[in-house]
Amino acid sequence: MPRTRSFVQVDVFSTSPYSGNPVAVVLDGTDLSGEEMQRLARWTNLSETTFVLPPTNPEADYRLRIFTPGGELPFAGHPTLGSARAWLDDGGTPQHAEHLVQECAAGLVTVRRGEGVLSFAAPPRVRCGALDDGHLKRIVAAFGITRERVVAHQWVDNGPGWAVLQLSTAEEVLALDPDLTLIPDAMVGAIGAHPEGSEYAFELRTFAPGAGVPEDPACGSMNAAVGQWLTSTGAAPSTYRVSQGTRLGRAASIEVTADPDGAVWVSGAAVIRIRGTITL
């Protein structure tokens, strides 16, 4: 029997309409099976579609399941901010005035409420360190570059399986035209610095063929893990801004901040652009 639920689509990481990364949010995923959730995620064909559920952990305000067109993720960044905005707008009342707590497969994620923005605390990385030679060679070949152009590389996996290559400049990152057929299961990004004095410190691109997403317009989870890497090594200041989505005609703006205690926060706008109901 058809079931009708409240549904919103949230534009994340941009205050300019339809310039960030959209996430579809079903505000009540109760009694939906994983198969039904996956089918809807394939149909929306967005980077992610999420389903809000009652929490199972007493410290959490709600629970979230996150799906790409290709499968379920334990954690993702822009869906975390977009779903938090949707939950608050739907009348959700957090246990704490200044932040809320999301439960997901990766654990508990704190989301702070700021002036016009939301910020999530970067979850722990489940894998870090330099890439193995074989994986690095495959990515370099897919990117169509030489090994010498890679300034640094790292596993930055906080659940989805991310790896990242650092190139010298943002211009080099924007020039990439990768052949993803060479890395069909990869979850990989490329980051490069903008000239000193620019509005943004870095340009980031993320490619997720392993999740059925050729290029993500703005990726909170990768920014979180890359931020942990770069700020811990001194390769980036404690606060910096990232531009993403340029090659896709988007204008995402992401701020990364490392607290003195080492906690990394990823911040950005989250604005509801579509509101209605969906029949499941």
225 membership: H or E segment, kind and range: helix 220-233
CA distance 111 to 279: 29
* Number of neighbours of residue 249 by Cβ within 10 angstroms: 9
Give the list of residues 6+ apart from residue 202 with CB closer than 8 angstroms, or none: 170, 191, 192, 193, 194, 236, 240, 241, 242, 243
Burial 119-136 (b: 16+ CB within 10 A, else e): bbbbbebeeeeebeeeeb
| Contact indicator for 92, 53 with CB cutoff of 8 Å | no
Spatial separation of the C-alpha atoms in residues 22 and 18, rounded to whole Å:
8
Active site residues: 48
